[in-house]
Amino acid sequence: MAINGISSGYYPTGYANNKTTKTTSGAGISNQINSIAGNAGKGHIVYMKTDDMLYSGGNGTGLSFYLKYAEDSTEDDPTVVAKGIDENGNDFEKTIHINKINPKCATYVEMRALEAHLGVAKRNGYSSLPMGDGEMGLNDRGNYMDMFEKSVSDLTKLQAHQAAAYYRYSMRAYWDFMSSK
């Protein structure tokens, strides 16, 4: 167990990463759920947010982490340390220099660090990050600006105007960050 972590044997079926499993009639429900989730015998680590953390959370892959400003972080070079468990259950620690993040080619952890540093507001239960990053692993990179545009387009087609407006607001914060470099 990690510091500030809670290990749990609960594996929601919604986090199965589209893996299929073969069940046997003698298997208990707990074993079936663990098998479906691809985490048989493993626990999940959940980091409880403390006052010195910028963020704690994860996504549907099993990636779980927290973010804190590094001791040597400065106003000119804001630096964040990410610590956690990757999607394969391995511990990781990464140092992220905020000014080097490119939202057109960023990891999920980098974008959470940027979100926290910029103070992009989360509203009505929405993340400020676009839909489509829930299956990204620790080192997967994506073009978040394209994901924002797709999310806004999809939500507009669904006539979810408030949600589309929120993602436009969020996207503007990241465009402004890129423009300021």
Please report the pLDDT score of residue 47 as a whole number: 78
Number of domains, the chain: 2
- Distance between the two ends of the chain, CA-based, in angstroms? 39
Q: Give yes or no: residues 57 and 40 share one domain.
A: no
Q: Give yes or no: residues 39 and 81 share one domain.
A: no
Q: Give yes or no: residues 84 and 21 share one domain.
A: no
Structural domain ending residue among the three candidates 46, 64, 80: 46
List the one residue out of 80, 158, 151, 144 whose CA is nearest residue 113. 80
HSE (CB half, 13 Å, CA atoms) of 93?
Answer: 5
Q: Give yes or no: residues 77 and 138 share one domain.
A: yes
Q: Give yes or no: residues 153 and 173 share one domain.
A: yes
Q: Give yes or no: residues 167 and 151 share one domain.
A: yes
pTM of the predicted protein model: 0.73
Range of the domain at 108: 49-179
Q: Give yes or no: residues 73 and 100 share one domain.
A: yes
pLDDT, tens digit, for every residue of 35-70? Answer: 445 544 456 677 778 889 999 998 888 899 999 999
Q: Give yes or no: residues 100 and 23 share one domain.
A: no
Structural domain ending residue among the three candidates 29, 46, 63: 46
List the one residue out of 164, 166, 69 whose CA is nearest residue 121. 166
Which tokens hold the place of 84?
């956690």
pLDDT, tens digit, for every residue of 131-172? Answer: 778 889 999 999 999 999 999 999 999 999 998 999 999 999
Number of neighbouring beta carbons within 10 Å of residue 110? 22
Q: Give yes or no: residues 174 and 106 share one domain.
A: yes
Please report the pLDDT score of residue 127 as a whole number: 80
